[in-house]
Chains A and B, each alone.
Chain A
Amino acid sequence: MTTSEDFSLVVNGSHRSVVDALPGESLLFVLRERLGLIGSKNACEEGECGSCTVRLDGETVCSCLVLAAAAADREVVTIEGLTSEEAVLSDVQQAFLDAGAVQCGFCTPGLLMAVDALLDADDEPDELTVREAISGNLCRCTGYGRILDAVDRAASARRSQVTP
């Protein structure tokens, strides 16, 4: 089988070279199977569930719908890059734990990426705005109640950080 030309990705600030990939490999597949970044999830691999959500040049995308080679040399941020330091949780991660928003956890990384992007744009979203912002992220365990509570907590944590 023909492999694509080697390329490199900028993932969580680091250059990672991708060697011998097949041309059709998605960004999700390369992150998970070639770079060992398993945090982005594969619940549908058809762009419907949001579990593979990453930031690509700042925008949230379903990494299952992005060809890996098309992301070459662009900034990719995955759940593993949500915090700069290991062992320190971000406001959104901490809020998900405190609110009981994590059950099986399969939707969690994608939701954390979506909520982080929402709060970057709007740190005081009303409830309908939050519901719409996360409506592309399916969760089968929680019924979303604790997740909405987590977003409230994270938003107020973020506001208290940016307001002196």
Chain B
Amino acid sequence: MTTLEAVSRTAAGPRIGESAPRPDGVPKVTGSFAFSSDLHNDRMLWGGTLRSPHAAARIRGIDVGPALALAGVHAVLTHEDVPGSPTYGLIHRDQPVLASDVVRYEGEPVVVVAADHPDMVRRALAVIEVDWEPTEPLVDPELAADATPIHPDGNVIRRVHLRHGDQTVADRQDLVSVEGTYEVGMQDQAFLGPESGLAVPDGDGGVDLYVATQWLHEDRDQVAACLGLPDDKVRLTLAGVGGAFGAREDLSLHVHLCLLALRTGRPVKMSYGREESFHGHVHRHPARMHYRHLATTEGDLVRVEARLLLDGGAYASSSSAVISNATCFAVGPYRVPSVEVEGVVVRTDNPPCGAMRGFGAVQTCFAHEAQMDRLAVALGMDPVDLRLRNALEPGDRLPTGQVITGTLPVAEVLRACAGHPSAAVGPDDPMARPGGAGRTADIDDVVRGEAVAVGFKNLMFSEGFDDSSSARCVLHRGVATITCACAEVGQGFVTLVHQIVGEVLGVDEVVLAPVATTSIGSAGSTSASRQTWMSGGAVQMACESVRRELLARVAAANDVSVHDLVLVDGRIFSLPGGGSGDDYLSIDLSLDEVTAEPVEADVVHRHAPTLPLDADGQGDAHVSFSVSAHRAIVDVDPDLGLVKVVELTTAQDVGRVLHPLQVLGQLEGGAAQGLGLAVMEEVQVTDGRIRNASFTDYLIPTALDMPPVEIAALIEQPEPGAPFGAKGIGEPPAISSTAAVAGALRDATGLDLPRVPVRPDDICLASGSALDEAD
């Protein structure tokens, strides 16, 4: 072989851009994949948690004696048994491991128990006597800021005041103005794999915790602090994760399990039931939002004013970052010269809220898109044309003053989505009508509506956070072992690792080392659509470093220049004309041969630094952005208030498609969660108490609720600075989908529908609707 054709690709292994098989696929379809609730140890005890039945109460005393007296009960622990920091938290450590003198939400953990059997745990929890003095819960977020503080840190978790551009235009009289107040209910992540884990004491004062999480190292830091142990005494290993969507970014049972294991000297397993899970993790923030849009009669946005109030619930979690996001992205992906947004997140006695897919941008997208539709009506303009006229472009400024230096194809996703032909058929089959299997909607009563919405958010952490991911690549005898603490939660990072190693090193034999705090530094959180960029980038860097060292090693051994060597599909060749000077490939070595001595690289990957927001909410606080659009077509029976989403169409800014099937899976799955928020999903809270903590009463979309998702376009504009040019894709599908469905319901009914989820009575009991007037 004498030409470069000899070194063209021949291997069949996974590469970037291909739908490679999931390395965890076979165990997941055969049932052998071990999720955190599947862990077992022959000596293990079962743990359980006594939670507050009150949204607010003082604790006058706790008598654990009756529980300790039961046979089979090995430990009953209270706040007095927490040896280290009594509180934990993701950003502010304000949440008690176990409540001491007060509880601030229904479901707050008070006592933990370890026993031989789950039934014994339940009996023990039932006989613990807590002397409660219930107090009036603070449940209205509107009153929280001025109410008596319910926590030493106060009731305002964070207030962000963003002012951009000329504020005097607020008084101009020549502009078209639309105003509205919007609400978003509390959504649950509803991952299927319950909170669960196994803690194993090491007999030497330390503990190993196997747990499902999004961010192993952050958990380790918080757990170690609460246990009063040095970091190396607390070792976390990722157990199989049954979905996350933000709800596993905070601790749940982590510290409790370790306390019980260290006290009993036995392994302890804990697994929440579904009701407990609803109380055991944070939710998406409910929001109340007031907006005023000002535009010229031609349809150019001049100013947007917004007041955002998010209910953070009892503890801070990531609320301070969520309100920052909500504020920064409050006006949507539009060019607006003058902006004022006041974003406030407050503390109440409602369930704590924190991260969920979309992270603050979901709530504001619902509001800003409702406003854009309203503005289009006021202007007599087509709603898509109005959006296109004001669409942000690279080079424009965000309301934070930051100039968009990367890609942001707002107009492209809008055009693709709005222009995509619909495949929706009429509601002839009763099963496909609103009400579905109930078969209650008469075909003559069904009205159809359609709307388009667009939304965007930041990728990666913001506001100066020093974000990084670590990875190690060891290439030995032709096998690449990758170590990275990135939490695989279902998204397919493990697949991507194989593709990256294949792409950079041409190696198809890839081993993923166990994900543990002892094996490598932090990968950061599997959140903020950041792991493809951050940990994918770390793996790419590590592989490229190995590649350079390998070529240098071969060059030195053969006395040629590295520039005359190429690595293709697991072999190293000398280039024709290089090295020996003739046209023959004088060097042709397998990686197996040249890595008899391992080649290793350890790297830390960082994105470009960001800055905090200043007092006016201005600053280059974000790394990158991604935009998506959805079009929804809905059928409604207005008399019954029943709804059927008939079709969702989407176009998304993805940078570059790394794995077509996994992209599709994220777009479809995110759209389903957005549909859920639009028409069915709400944690219903009355006087601080959750009324629907079950899958009987908290409804998530089934296969009958979910329509086909048509992909109008995946816009591939490589993002500068991103590995392979790819953007994170997980969150945008959950942002604009809710707004599109709500818009289509307005189009069908003529109602304002200022709140999601839209409930049947919001439609059938609405007064003064356009339909009533038409009657």
Chain A residues packing against B (C-beta within 8 Å): 1, 22, 24, 29, 32-33, 36-46, 48-49, 51, 78-80, 82-83, 89, 93, 96-97, 99-100, 102-109, 112, 128, 130-132, 134-148
Contact A38 B34 (CB under 8 A): yes
Contact A49/B695 with A100-B19, A140-B700, A143-B668 known, Cβ cut-off 8 Å: yes
User: Closest CB of chain B to A109's CB: distance in Å?
Assistant: 5
Contact A107 B192 (CB under 8 A): yes
Instruction: Tell me, yes or no, whether B763 is within 8 Å of chain A by CB.
Output: no
Contact A145/B668 with A43-B274, A138-B702 known, Cβ cut-off 8 Å: yes
Q: Give per-residue flags for B659-683: 1 if the beta carbon is below 8 A from chain A beta carbons, else 0.
A: 0011011001111110000000000
Q: Give per-residue flags for B212-246: 1 if the beta carbon is below 8 A from chain A beta carbons, else 0.
A: 00000000000000000000000000001111110
Which residues of the partner chain B approach A141 to less than 8 Å between Cβ atoms?
243, 490, 665, 669
Q: Which of A22, A41, A141 has the most CB of B within 10 A?
A: A141
Select A105's contact among B72, B490, B661, B701, beta carbons within 8 Å: B490
User: Closest CB of chain A to B508's CB: distance in Å?
Assistant: 18
Which residues of the partner chain B approach A51 to less than 8 Å between Cβ atoms?
192
User: Closest CB of chain B to A37's CB: distance in Å?
Assistant: 8
Instruction: Tell me, yes or no, whether B709 is within 8 Å of chain A by CB.
Output: yes
Query: Do most interface residues of chain B lie in helix, strand or loop, or is the interface mixed?
Result: loop
Contact A104/B672 with A22-B119, A51-B192 known, Cβ cut-off 8 Å: no
Q: Which of B29, B245, B491, B696 has the most CB of A within 10 A?
A: B29
User: Closest CB of chain B to A107's CB: distance in Å?
Assistant: 6
Contact A142 B192 (CB under 8 A): no
Chain B residues packing against A (C-beta within 8 Å): 19, 21-22, 24-26, 28-35, 37-38, 40, 71-72, 117-120, 189-194, 240-245, 271, 273-274, 429, 431-432, 437, 489-492, 661-662, 664-665, 668-673, 694-696, 700-704, 706, 708-709
Contact A100 B665 (CB under 8 A): yes
Select A104's contact among B242, B668, B702, B703, beta carbons within 8 Å: B242
Determine the distance from Cα of A156 to Cα of B245 in the docked complex, in whole angstroms: 34
Which residues of the partner chain A approach B71 to less than 8 Å between Cβ atoms?
1
Contact B24 A105 (CB under 8 A): yes
Contact A112/B29 with A38-B34, A48-B696, A107-B192 known, Cβ cut-off 8 Å: yes
Contact A97/B429 with A1-B120, A138-B700 known, Cβ cut-off 8 Å: no
Which residues of the partner chain B approach A93 to less than 8 Å between Cβ atoms?
29-30
Which residues of the partner chain A approach B245 to less than 8 Å between Cβ atoms?
140
Contact B29 A89 (CB under 8 A): yes
Select A46's contact among B32, B243, B669, B696, beta carbons within 8 Å: B696
Q: Which of A29, A139, A145 has the most CB of B within 10 A?
A: A145
Contact B432 A97 (CB under 8 A): no
Select B40's contact among A24, A33, A144, beta carbons within 8 Å: A33
Sample (30) of A-B pairs whose CB atoms are under 8 Å apart: A22-B119, A38-B34, A38-B38, A38-B40, A41-B37, A43-B242, A49-B192, A89-B26, A93-B30, A97-B21, A99-B661, A100-B664, A103-B491, A103-B492, A104-B243, A106-B193, A107-B192, A130-B703, A132-B437, A135-B702, A135-B704, A138-B695, A140-B191, A140-B673, A141-B243, A141-B665, A143-B672, A144-B703, A146-B661, A146-B668
Q: A104-B192, A104-B243, A104-B490 are in contact. List 17 more A-B contacts (CB 8 A).
A: A24-B119, A36-B40, A38-B35, A39-B30, A42-B37, A48-B274, A79-B30, A89-B29, A93-B29, A100-B661, A103-B669, A104-B489, A106-B243, A139-B192, A140-B243, A143-B669, A143-B673
Determine the distance from Cα of A131 to Cα of B701 in the docked complex, in whole angstroms: 12
Contact A108 B29 (CB under 8 A): yes
User: Closest CB of chain A to B44's CB: distance in Å?
Assistant: 10
